[in-house]
Amino acid sequence: MKAEEFSSDSFVIRDPVTGEEGGRSTSTSFELFDISSQIQQGEGTSTGFIERAGFLYFPFANIPTVTATAGNGQVTLDWTASTGILANITDYEVGTATTSGGPYTYESVGNVLTFIKTGLTGGTTYYFRVRALAGVLPLAKSEEVSATPTGAAAAVSTGGGAGYPSPPKREPEIARILKLCDFNNDGRCNIVDFSILLYYMNKPIAIASRYDLNSDEVIDIIDISILLFYWTD
């Protein structure tokens, strides 16, 4: 065991204790298990193991900052880019509500930083949030913004001719989840899909891209974590 002080210009770690080897101690009232460990954030490797220390290695992203500008029957939304950590941002969704705090109805708008929400009623205050996704996994959600459009609702076309096109229908959330992780198309995310994902770990991304659930071009523990998050049975 070690207990020494480590310091830098910005921090001091006082007397950390770390096990140097694995072992087990017992008495009549307790058991103490000791494991090999490290005190510095990062990845340690040997020929037989990999140890990741410092955080849980789950993907996350910084929060986009949104502004809303009202127009005639519409609201223009602009936001700052969200940067993913251990994942790539592939899509943004805009949530719309008529009550502060929601519930929100989300729609996919693609990997863009601006969106015009049309078909709104003049004089009604609308509330918006933007969330950033890696695949179908939401990683960050903005603070709520609001705007009150003017005039009458913008025209919405149900077919050809003038006006705005009808927005595409979004798949139910469960359908989107199953499309992500139901590799054998049996309507569930379960041990079979887990086995398939394990098979493709460390395979070239050219043949394994279907199983890259966070779109970071490698099949690893993060993809397993995402699949387990959406486990159905």
> Is residue 38 scored above 60 in pLDDT?
no
* Domain assignment of residue 78, yes or no: yes
Residue 10, helix vs strand vs coil: coil
Q: What is the DSSP letter of 72?
A: B
Rounded CA separation 128/94 (Å): 7
Helix axes 173-181, 221-229, angle to 10 degrees: 150
pLDDT, residue 66, reads 95
Residues 115 and 140 in one domain: yes
> Is residue 143 scored above 50 in pLDDT?
yes
Residues 41 and 107 in one domain: no
Cross-strand pairs, 22: none
Q: What is the DSSP letter of 164?
A: B
Residues 43 and 115 in one domain: no
Domain extent for 221 = 173-229
Number of other residues whose CB lies within 10 A of the CB of residue 158: 8
* Domain assignment of residue 152, yes or no: no
Residues 142 and 85 in one domain: yes
* Domain assignment of residue 179, yes or no: yes
Q: Which carries the bigger pLDDT value, residue 49 or residue 21?
A: 49
pLDDT, residue 154, reads 45
For residues 214 and 88, the answer to whether their CB atoms sit within 8 Å is: yes
Q: What is the DSSP letter of 58?
A: -
Residues 198 and 177 in one domain: yes
CA 203 to chain centre: 24
For residue 184, give Cα distances in angstroms to 50, 88, 151, 201: 30, 25, 51, 17
Provide the mean pLDDT of the chain: 76
pLDDT, residue 24, reads 61
Q: Which carries the bigger pLDDT value, residue 211 or residue 131?
A: 131
Residues 128 and 80 in one domain: yes
> Is residue 147 scored above 70 in pLDDT?
yes
E strand or H helix at 178: helix 173-181
Residues 26 and 74 in one domain: no
Rounded CA separation 91/82 (Å): 10
Residues 76 and 138 in one domain: yes
pLDDT, residue 157, reads 47
* Domain assignment of residue 153, yes or no: no
* Domain assignment of residue 77, yes or no: yes
In total, how many domains does the chain have? 3
pLDDT above 90 as % of the chain: 30
The model's pLDDT over 77-128, given as tens digits with 9 standing for 90+, comes to 999 999 887 788 999 999 999 999 989 999 999 999 999 999 999 999 999 9
Residues 140 and 92 in one domain: yes
